[in-house]
Structure 1
Amino acid sequence: MGNKPNGRHYFAEGITNRGYISLLPNMMSEWERTYVLIGGPGTGKSTMIKMIGLDLLDRGYEVDFLRSAWDPDSMAGVLIRRFNWAILDQYEIAPLHWRAPGVIERFIDFSRYCNQGKLEQQRLGILELEEKIKHGQQKIGEILAEEFGERIRERFYLKAEGGRPWLPKLYASNLFKEAKGPWSKAQDALKKIQKSAVQSFFLHGISTEGWLNLAPYFLTDYDQIRFDGEEAHEAMEWVLKEAEQLGQVIDIVLHPLYPDEILGIVFPERKLTIWQGDPEHLGDQGLGRPFSNDLREALLGTQKLRDKLKSMYTKTVDFDQVDSMKTDLLSSALRDMDPKNL
């Protein structure tokens, strides 16, 4: 079978200065089949996604692991791009407003593996925690908008008339309430950005420990061309336009705070990347600034609430049944990717 392929890890959604941004709708335009796992945190969904992804990786498939924007150590999904096939954890992604027509979906409810009596006893506590988590997430968004709302580099992008059509349409959820200042400008920008065939994602996730940087791992096998200085932004946009006209397969890495800004351009078929500065140094991407105490406290508080909610669900789950379902789901996935069934 040759060398075992490496799994690619990235974020399909991000917590930015304009709120929670989802790139899933752009990805889903090419998908054919999706399994959506439904249920509360701690019911085994993320673990199952990871196990199935690793199993498919062992079988020689090229697997993309989608990390959770709210919990970067957890998996929000797995994608097999070659077959346009995916598994998603509904709890870890934006609401299902992104559902694409024509995609065959199978919904699997993990609550059926929970003890319903125990779950009912915890119902009021679960609802209270969910409301607190929502409030905490909203607070994080407000802090990010306040602390990272302005961007000097924005002047480079305002030069281009008609926007930048090679960037994807960005989908902002309503998890955060509107704020003044850059938020209104961001909303106007969303309307101008056109959908593109180029796939985009984030390689940085926000966590209680600071930024989780997946870029060095993601780019391990890539030759790198690095641009430095303010001219890098204009140079990278020029390269992107030229490469798209040549019909190259392109992945673009967006800034985790300012999703209108490109951090890297990846050419998977050529094993080449063009990057803003050194991908190992957060400072080169404008991410060297330490988190404020307010932001850190909001992240820690929300994570503790998520852990508490997860614990409440975990105590009700029959994991023997979950493990049995994992075997069935993997078998179904392999049938989906069998050339005879395509």
Structure 2
Amino acid sequence: MGNKPNGRHYFAEGITNRGYISLLPNMMSEWERTYVLMGGPGTGKSTLIKMIGLELLDRGHDVDFFRSAWDSDSMAGVLIRRYNWAILDQYEIAPLHWRVPGVIEHFIDFSKFCDQAKLRQKRPVILEVEAKINKGQQQISEILAEEFGERMREKKYSSAQNEGRPWLPKLHAADLFKDAKGPWTKAQDALRKIQKSAVQSYFLHGFHTEGWLNLAPYFLMDYDQIRFSGEEAYEAMEWVLKESESLGQVIDIVLHPLYPDEILGIVFSERNLVIWQGDPECLGDQGLGRPFSHDLKEALLTTQSFRDQLKKMYTETVDFDQVDGIRVDLINSILRDMT
């Protein structure tokens, strides 16, 4: 990988057997600045985010691209890793807990680039289509719960130590100084804090109308890979993660897109190493080989068609010359603040 700037694509949110899960709150605890783009779909937010991310990548910055969980072809945000600055499309992320105390926030409302008279005329239809989108998303969640509520593959081991202890809720739950008493105890806890790794998690698989969008092969292509297979793969992955948490380095965890308590991969960026279950290019190795049912495909297609319809209604009202102007102003502002 060397000094080549790195552009990573992944999902910070997912539609799982537990419903819609956002990993953004965990990520935001490390962020220092967030630019929040507000406004309806089709107003140019996702395109602007992608263009700014690519421009920063061309300028030598490492950039993470967040894909939308509901529309994997759209960008929900970007993260400039060196500075921990992010740009988010408010419409494409879960409408909860995306604000974090202490983060410097900049809000840009794209509705000011729209012809308000045209929007008022379209408002009844917009509300109707939005209701259909919400209904479609609810239907998708219900179908997933029915078809994938149970695991598509059974775990071959069962340990009382692991029961009821999914990785997702415990990733950032440590409070090392809670019970510390006296200087030596505090010193030991401080040392453990220094040694403890910075753990981040995300998804590399997302829903698409044609099936799973698998970002894993592209994300991992420059890494050395150790692949686990067989009945003990699950147990081995959890053991590796448990042992690795004390290494004092950045560890990225790739979660199963349907069962977020299951680990598909562990990425050690500083070591240029990834440990993975099976072949990243083979969905079957990750338990994702079952094709989507007719009902799920229909729900995805119908909901996507309503999303496209809503975007078109907003797009017809937008002055994209102004949107392009805000792109130039925003990238200049970001670059100026970096100096």
Question: Equivalent residue for 1:195?
Answer: 173
Q: Aligned partner of 1:251: which letter?
A: D
Tell me what 1:60 maps to: 60
Matched, 1:280 2:281: yes
**1:4–1:57 contact (8 Å) kept in structure 2:** no
Pairs within 5 Å for 1:165-314: 167-169=167-169, 195=173, 197-314=198-315
Aligned to 2:318: 317
Identical columns (%): 78
* Cα deviations by residue, 1:259-315 (Å, 9 ceiling, x for unpaired): 000000000011100000000000000001000000000000000000000000000
Q: CA–CA distance in 1 between the matches of 2:79 and 2:327?
A: 17
The one-letter code matched in structure 1 to 2:131 is E
Q: Are 2:334 and 1:333 aligned? A: yes
Q: Sort the Cα spacing of 1:157 and 1:264 in 2 relative to 1 into closer, same or farther, 3 A.
A: farther
Structure 1 moving runs of 4+ over 4 Å: 154-158, 161-165
How many residues align? The count is 314
- SS of structure 2 residue aligned to 1:221: coil
Shift of 1:5: 1.3
Equivalents in 2 of 1:214, 1:236: separation in Å? 20
- Confirm or deny: 8 A CA contact 1:203 1:253 kept in the other structure: yes
Range with greater deviation from structure 2 (273-282 or 97-106): 97-106
DSSP-derived class of the 1:82 partner = coil
**Residue pair 2:201, 2:253 contacting (<8 A) in 1 also:** yes
The alpha-carbon distance between structure 1 residues 130 and 17, as it changes in their structure 2 partners (threshold 3 A), is: same
Q: 2:7 is matched with which residue?
A: 7
- The RMSD of aligned alpha carbons is 1.7
What is residue 161 of structure 2 aligned with on the other side? 160
Is residue 157–residue 232 contact of structure 2 (8 Å, CA) maintained in 1?
Answer: no
Give per-residue Cα distances to partners, 1:240-264, cap 9 Å, x unaligned: 1111112231000000000000000
Mapped to 2, the partners of 1:157 and 1:16 lie a distance apart of: 22
Structure 1 pair 292–161 and aligned structure 2 pair: CA distance change class (3 A): closer
Distance 1:237 1:82 in 2: 29
Q: Which residue matches 1:20?
A: 20
- Where does the alignment leave 5 or more consecutive residues of structure 1 unmatched? 170-191
Distance 2:69 2:51 in 1: 19
1:86 corresponds to which residue? Answer: 86
Q: TM-score, normalised by structure 2?
A: 0.89
Name the counterpart of 1:105: 105
1:149-169 residue CA offsets vs partner (Å, 9 max, x unmatched): 01254674763258548x343
Partner of 1:61, secondary structure, is coil
One-letter code aligned to 1:242: E
Q: Equivalents in 2 of 1:163, 1:140: separation in Å?
A: 27
Contact 2:155–2:234, Cα closer than 8 Å, also in 1: no
| Residues 26 and 172 in structure 2, CA contact (< 8 A), matched pair in contact too | no
Instruction: Give the letter for the 1:195 counterpart.
Output: A
Q: How far apart, in 2, do the equivalents of 1:241 and 1:233 lie?
A: 13
The one-letter code of the counterpart of 2:224 is: D
Correspondence 1:138 to 2:138: yes
CA offset at residue 81 of structure 1? 1.9
Query: 2:6 touches 2:61 (CA, 8 Å); kept in 1?
Result: no
Structure-2 separation of matches of 1:164 and 1:264? 18
